[in-house]
């Protein structure tokens, strides 16, 4: 992966190249060994470049190869490896390079404006919404249903920004307190400045291989044992936003494939999607890592710290490492890979983690993408 940052000098193509090159090199392959490539990248509107997949092809190492772009909004970064998995698990290819790239800084003064077209043309856009509205509405509903105090949610932001201090690619690693979060600028209540991940530029990549090929490449492969994805209705105002049912559906699909019956006991650590602090908690519940409404207590009691009973976002997550949308999701897959191979250095979680789950989320608060990996 590249460093994540507010604005990079490199173009999207150059960022994609750096990440893809690093991934291919790190497993001792040549680009000739890569039989197929999938690219994950979020809205074209960020770049002002249409057909972004095609535009990025050369940087993604896909010259004259079977190549496809996939896109499910913020869920893209964890969908891209699912897409790559489909390439290999189908038997079509022995190898697939998965690349995710995002360059949000080109959209000025702020990529916020590029988000507005996600709202319904007739029933929502004339009301002048901004993207934070939907998060604030969801967060507030979640807090209301479970009577969650804001400080328990703020603990997630504190943890992830701290975890990111040990990540060399991190954009927003910092030591902050719960009070700092609670005293930060109120944007759209209950969302405050320090509840949110930044906008970022960056890229990440992984190489997937069939079982036979993987065993030839390395003595310590990490396996994708389960994949799942699921989308809810685009009529988002018709849903009860307190619970992400579609994440649960995606998780069930992935767990069933991986033979996981009791996720709370069988998952050693998790990288749920955390563009906002409450989302990590919301997604822990959707991933069935705890009961509905229980996640804030786990965060508050420290159980989700790196040395806790259930480490969550040991990477530092989007809140700490940064949020170049698709690349941020794939960064979570990278973290699972490094943790399961015990290569995570200062971020390494204690014990002997064997099974982990990564998840991303997006579109109009409607998609869940889930990958289970095992050492």
Judged by the rule CB under 8 A, the positions of this chain that interact with another protein are 1-10, 15, 18-19, 22, 26, 48, 105, 110, 112-113, 116, 120-124, 126-130, 132-133, 136-138, 140-141, 144, 167-169, 186-191, 201-202, 233, 235, 237-241, 338, 341, 343-345, 347
CB-nearer residue toward another protein: 65 or 239 = 239
Q: Which residues face 5 on adjacent strands?
A: 201
The least distance separating another protein from the CB of residue 272, rounded to whole angstroms, comes to 19
Shortest Å distance, C-beta 332 to another protein: 13
Round to whole Å and give the CA distance between 5 and 119.
27
What pairs with residue 368 in β-bridges? 230, 361
Q: How far is the CB of 40 from another protein (least distance, A)?
A: 18
Q: Using the minimum distance from each CB to another protein, give the nearer residue, 235 or 302.
A: 235
Cβ proximity to another protein, 124 vs 297, nearer residue: 124
Cβ neighbours of residue 99 closer than 8 Å, sequence gap 6 or more = 16, 19, 20, 23, 37, 38, 39, 40, 56, 59, 60, 61, 80, 203, 204, 205
Q: How far is the CB of 313 from another protein (least distance, A)?
A: 14
Contact (Cβ atoms closer than 8 angstroms) between residue 136 and residue 190: yes
CB 217, min distance to another protein, A: 14
Residue 89 token pair: 């698990």
- DSSP-derived pairing of the beta strands 269-271 and 201-209: unpaired
Nearest-angstrom CA–CA distance, 204 and 308: 27
Taking the complex as a whole, how short is the minimal distance between the CB of residue 345 and another protein, in angstroms?
4
**82 vs 137, beta carbon nearer another protein:** 137
Q: Which is nearer to another protein, 42 or 254 (CB)?
A: 42
Q: Which is nearer to another protein, 191 or 281 (CB)?
A: 191
Minimum distance between the CB of residue 283 and another protein, rounded to whole angstroms? 18
User: Between 22 and 217, whose beta carbon lies closer to another protein?
Assistant: 22
Q: How far is the CB of 91 from another protein (least distance, A)?
A: 30
From residue 20, how far is each of 120, 188, 214, 237, 242 by CA, in Å? 36, 38, 18, 39, 38
Q: How far apart (Å, rounded) are the C-alpha atoms in residues 25 and 12?
A: 20
Distance (Å) of CA 223 to CA 20, 91, 167, 330, 375: 20, 16, 23, 15, 6
> Beta-carbon neighbour count of residue 55 at 10 Å?
21
- 201-209 and 191-192 strand pairing: unpaired
Residue closer to another protein by CB (options 145, 310) is 145
CB of 74 closer than 8 Å to CB of 275:
yes
Report the length, in residues, of the chain: 375
């Amino acid at each position: 992966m590249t460093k994540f940052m507010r604005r990079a000098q490199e173009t999207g193509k150059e960022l994609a190249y750096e990440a893809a090159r690093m991934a291919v090199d790190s497993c001792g392959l040549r680009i000739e060994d890569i039989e197929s490539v999938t690219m994950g990248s979020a809205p074209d509107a960020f770049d002002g470049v249409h057909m972004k997949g095609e535009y990025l092809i050369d940087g993604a190492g896909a010259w004259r190869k079977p190549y496809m772009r996939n896109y499910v909004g913020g869920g893209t970064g964890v969908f891209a490896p699912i897409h790559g998995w489909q390439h290999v698990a189908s038997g079509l290819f022995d190898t697939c390079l998965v690349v995710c790239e995002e360059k949000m800084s080109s959209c000025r003064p702020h990529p916020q404006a590029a988000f507005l077209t996600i709202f319904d043309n007739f029933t929502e856009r004339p009301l002048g919404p901004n993207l934070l509205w939907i998060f604030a509405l969801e967060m507030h509903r979640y807090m209301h249903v479970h009577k969650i105090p804001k400080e328990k949610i703020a603990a997630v932001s504190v943890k992830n920004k701290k975890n990111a201090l040990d990540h060399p690619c991190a954009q927003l690693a910092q030591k902050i307190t719960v009070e700092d979060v609670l005293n930060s600028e109120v944007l759209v209540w209950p969302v405050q400045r320090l509840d949110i991940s930044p906008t970022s530029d960056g890229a990440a990549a992984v190489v997937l291989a069939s079982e036979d090929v993987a065993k030839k490449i390395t003595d310590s492969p990490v396996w994708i044992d389960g994949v799942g994805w699921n989308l809810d209705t685009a009529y988002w105002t018709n849903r009860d936003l307190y619970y992400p049912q579609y994440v649960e559906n995606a998780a069930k699909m992935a767990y069933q494939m991986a033979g996981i019956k009791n996720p709370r006991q069988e998952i050693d650590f998790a990288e749920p999607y955390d563009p906002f602090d409450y989302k990590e908690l919301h997604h822990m519940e959707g991933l069935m890592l705890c009961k509905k409404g229980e996640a804030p207590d786990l965060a508050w009691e420290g159980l989700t710290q790196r040395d806790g009973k259930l480490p969550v976002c040991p990477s530092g997550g989007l809140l700490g490492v940064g949020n170049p949308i698709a690349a941020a999701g794939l960064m979570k897959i990278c973290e699972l890979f490094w943790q399961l191979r015990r290569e995570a250095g200062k971020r390494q979680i204690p014990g002997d983690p064997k099974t982990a789950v990564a998840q991303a989320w997006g579109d109009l608060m409607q998609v869940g993408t889930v990958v289970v990996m095992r050492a």
